[in-house]
Structure 1
Amino acid sequence: MTFRIGLALWSLGRTYSFEDLKRQLGLARDIGVEGVQLWAVDYSADAPCLLDPDRCDEKCRREVKEIIDSYGLEISGFCAQLSGTKGIGGLDDPEGLKWRIEKTKKVLELASEFGAPIVTAHPGLIPDDPKSLGYRIIRGSISEIARYAEDLNACFAIETGMEPTGTLRTFLEDIGSEGLGVNFDPANLLRYGVEEIIRGVRELGEWIVHTHAKDHNPKTGKATVGEGLVPWSRYLEELRSQGYDGWLALEDETGVDVLNSLRRGRDFLHSLISSL
């Protein structure tokens, strides 16, 4: 087995309609990826997402699957990125918490129906102190979601970056659920230093079920894979040594020359994977 190059489809814009989906899938195919990760919650109250489970009924889901199949692409997983009153995630925010938990469960159901039962998200900040109120709130939320994921044979994958990887590992061990995993994004960890990426793979290896592939160049602000600070060769070798050889989903949310960035990133990864 070897790594597979995918694409976080929202890098190409928002998916409001079937027409948007077709346009984005066509571009994904042209870039040369094998699969796509799909955004599956409304972008905001007045910006509906085609795949939001409260909107995309059985007929919609069937049509989406047929369209994706027609482009010769697979689905690597889904993203259910929500926000609370305090910021991104919201699973640490009591206000509106029940709604966010239920929405996440619905996306897990949708992902299972599509045969790609991985749902990724930044759930909110996990505090270092397990006795803090914030920790108890987010632990309760994610424990409930994880139990639901287990029942579906699905996985809620916490994306790296909001806290050090050691804190995330302790949290995962504390909950101890097979319905929990990690979506590893190396660029998100650069705030803690380059070595946090390699250390993070070692600490979280057994939980990694999906990854995002993006970079960060502090001089240009670009996210093009292979043109920033992420040590890609060491990173992929460490992933493999930990038993992960699944999806590397390209992601570029900069909005600047994205198509060219994704093509260069795809070519870089393809060449690097071939040399490992």
Structure 2
Amino acid sequence: MKLSIFTVAAPDLTPEELCEAAAAAGIAGLEWRCKETPAELLQEKPSFWGNNQCTISPNAGDAEISRFRHAAAGYNRQTIAVTPYLACGDIEGTEQVLRLAKRLDASMVRVGVPGYDRSKPYGELFGQAVRYLKEVERLALEYGVKALVETHHQTIAPSASLAHRLVSAFNPDAVGVLYDPGNMVHEGFENYRMGMELLGPYLAHVHVKNAGWQSVSPGTTADHLNPVQWNSGWAPIANGIVPWKQVLRDLRAVGYDGWFGVEDFSGTFDTRTMLQAYADQMNTWMEEIE
């Protein structure tokens, strides 16, 4: 089983500390968060999407790239992905990150997908995404790095089927899908195995996290003639709605042999404990389903 860590989930560790902790937990793969960190955020305490200390800049120069390469090599870890926050249509930014991934020996890069908020029709956004992915496909083949569309809530690709509709016209050697069941708790749930079977050769990577739903007024008696409002939020990997043991069975059934990248946002454990708990839990589940 190939375990990796998307470093957005390790905001309080430096690249060197993250590689040390990953090695101690038996996590072999690294997915570097890629984003500029504004100067004002550097004064804040570490956080997932703010002052994340395990982040590489899209504009990284030789010294910064060398630091991340040496951190991985020093603990015999493998950089498998660079994961930025690209806007759909940003060809220049996409090529910049593909170039960075190539220098880090990464094989995958997450690319942009239009958000969906009811302000523009789906068809218009889909056309925009297809035009962008045509250019992305060309660049991915040129750089030898696969471009990934993530199943993500509040985008036009929240489910396996909608992600498949988006990528199905492209070469699966160049464009694939990052399958994220945790995101699909918020939006986009479909029978897991059916979605995997549909994705076929486009199923390129898997992120591992979990989430759940709660009433905004827990503990109160509902008026059955009025709607009850619900909110979704992150949960520990074993305690959310996603039945991960079943998902692992389904992935095995469709022949998936790729990476499993942890992205735990629950805040249940400190980062080092979370990494070890993730590795132990995934290995236990895989032993139980064999």
Aligned match for 1:35, one of 7, 10, 29: 29
Aligned match for 2:69, one of 65, 68, 77: 65
Greater fraction helix? 1
Q: Percent identity?
A: 22
User: In structure 2, what is the equivalent of residue 26 of structure 1?
Assistant: 20
User: In structure 2, what is the equivalent of residue 184 of structure 1?
Assistant: 179
User: In structure 1, what is the equivalent of residue 141 of structure 2?
Assistant: 150
Distance 2:186 2:55 in 1: 33
The Cα of 1:133 is off from its aligned counterpart by 2.3
The alignment status of 1:78 with 2:68, answered yes or no, reads: no
The alignment status of 1:108 with 2:102, answered yes or no, reads: no
Note if contact 2:236-2:268 (Cα within 8 Å) is conserved in structure 1: no
Moved more, 186-195 or 137-146: 186-195
Aligned match for 1:12, one of 10, 13, 16: 10
Number of equivalenced pairs: 254
**Which amino acid in structure 1 is aligned with residue 249 of structure 2?**
E
User: In structure 1, what is the equivalent of residue 244 of structure 2?
Assistant: 232
The Cα of 1:200 is off from its aligned counterpart by 1.8
Which ranges of structure 1 fall in alignment gaps of 5 or more residues? 83-89, 92-96
Distance 2:129 2:96 in 1: 19
Greater fraction strand? 2
3-state SS of paired residue (1:174) = coil
User: In structure 1, what is the equivalent of residue 57 of structure 2?
Assistant: 52
Distance 2:40 2:93 in 1: 17
The Cα of 1:269 is off from its aligned counterpart by 0.4
**Which amino acid in structure 1 is aligned with residue 109 of structure 2?**
V
Please report the TM-score for the alignment, with normalisation by the length of structure 2. Answer: 0.76
C-alpha distance 149-130 of structure 1, shift in aligned 2 (>3 A): farther
User: In structure 1, what is the equivalent of residue 45 of structure 2?
Assistant: none
**Which amino acid in structure 2 is aligned with residue 268 of structure 1?**
Q
The alignment status of 1:252 with 2:264, answered yes or no, reads: yes
Q: Deviations over 1:228-269 (max 9, x none)?
A: 221222212222232211211111234453434443222110
Aligned match for 1:268, one of 281, 285, 290: 281
Note if contact 1:126-1:135 (Cα within 8 Å) is conserved in structure 2: no
Alignment RMSD, CA only? Answer: 2.9
3-state SS of paired residue (2:236) = coil
C-alpha distance 8-131 of structure 1, shift in aligned 2 (>3 A): closer
3-state SS of paired residue (1:72) = coil
Please report the TM-score for the alignment, with normalisation by the length of structure 1. Answer: 0.80
